[in-house]
Amino acid sequence: MPPTVTVIVVALGARASLKRALASIPEGCEVIVVDHGHPLGRPVVEGDLPRGARLVRADRNRGFGAGCNEGARLAGGELLLLLNPDAELEPGAVETLVARIERDEAIGVVGGRLLRPDGSDELSFGRRPRPWDLLVIALRLDGFARLFPWLGSFRMAAADRSAPAAPHWVSGALLLIPATIFRRVAGFDERFFMYCEDVYLCERVRASGSEVAYEPSARAHHRGGGTGPPWSARRHVEHWRSWRIYWGLRGLPGAPIVALTALAGAIRVVESLPVALFMGAAAASERIRCGLGLIRLSLTGPKRPSQRGAEGGFLEHVRSRTAKEAPDAADLQ
């Protein structure tokens, strides 16, 4: 018998993109929707869901990873498929991911190909980040990676996304993982609110002895803005906040992270001038907000990530479920 699949979707209220995402899920999958709500929209209700789907209403928005962990606690499937609420699966995508992970027992995570509305590829996989990447991203040089591959950051922007690959990480917007492995690594680290949580999850899966794979024939159309504007100051600041957590977990000294965060902020403020000329005042204002937000973030100083976020949530669920797997999960933190 083929393995059972639980699809976990973390939503920010009821949106048209969520309905399209749920409609694209094939029959036979268990579906769990974790609603974090949205201050400007209405919450998800049972009528928004396909028949048989389960709705989990979180008390507050604790981030993508925490939402996935919440859904995974209730999941009955042997495989967990994480799907963004603004991503629509192409027919056969789930079956293709399942077949890939069944063919090779060494694979612990497999991701699919994400396409933008215009048909171009999203950056859906990459290699393990290096400290050099922080400087490249701070200086806004990663956009030149196709011309100068040595500038390519961990996102591997110049990579061929039409061919299978064995990257270090795949995007959590379309990711399949066996439930046993998800429990083994204690799920997502809930210290990440948004961004980098999928990179760190895949890193821990690889550290546990499994491999990460990318399967381009499993495709989803990612609206990539179903949860916000295409260029958002808040998103950029949150990305850098997650970078600080990630590199703190990797043991990078705090001073370089603080300096690069401040540098990134200053560059965003300066670039608001040409943005104002060519894109208008609103876009320039967003760049300024981003720059000032990054500078404020740098002024908070280097902080080592506390254990509180990782100790809560899914890790406690793992420990209560099986004493045998808990030591492995703790070792990977």
CA distance 308 to 317: 15
Half-sphere exposure of 154 (CA within 13 A, CB side): 20
**Phi (first) and psi of residue 141, to 5 degrees:** -95, -10
- DSSP state, 165? B
Confidence of residue 231 (pLDDT cuts 50, 70, 90): low
Residue type, 146: R
pLDDT digits (tens, 9 = 90+) for 169-220: 999 999 999 999 999 999 999 999 999 999 999 999 999 999 999 999 999 9
Confidence of residue 46 (pLDDT cuts 50, 70, 90): confident
Confidence of residue 319 (pLDDT cuts 50, 70, 90): low
- 5-124+161-222+307-331 under CATH 3.90.550.10, yes or no: yes
Token digits of residue 264: 């990134």
Helix (H) / strand (E) containing 125: strand 125-126
Q: What is the DSSP annotation of 7-46?
A: EEEEESS--HHHHHHHHTSPTT-EEEEEE---TTSPPP-G
CA distance 314 to 223: 29
In this model, does residue 164 exceed pLDDT 80?
Answer: yes
C-alpha distances (whole Å) from 273 to each of 22, 281, 311 are 42, 9, 44
**Mean pLDDT of all residues in 63-85:** 97
Inter-axis angle of helices 254-279 and 233-250, nearest 10: 160
Compute the mean pLDDT over every residue in the chain, rounded to the nearest whole number: 87
**Could you state, in order of their start, the residue ranges of all structural domains in the chain?**
5-124+161-222+307-331, 233-299
Helix (H) / strand (E) containing 272: helix 254-279
**Mean pLDDT of all residues in 149-153:** 70
Residue type, 3: P
Higher pLDDT, 254 or 31: 31
In this model, does residue 227 exceed pLDDT 70?
Answer: no
pLDDT digits (tens, 9 = 90+) for 48-66: 898 899 999 988 889 999 9
Q: Minimum mean pLDDT among 106-110, 150-154, 231-235: which range?
A: 150-154
Confidence of residue 306 (pLDDT cuts 50, 70, 90): low
In this model, does residue 307 exceed pLDDT 70?
Answer: no
- Are 188 and 199 in contact by the 8 Å Cβ rule? The answer is no
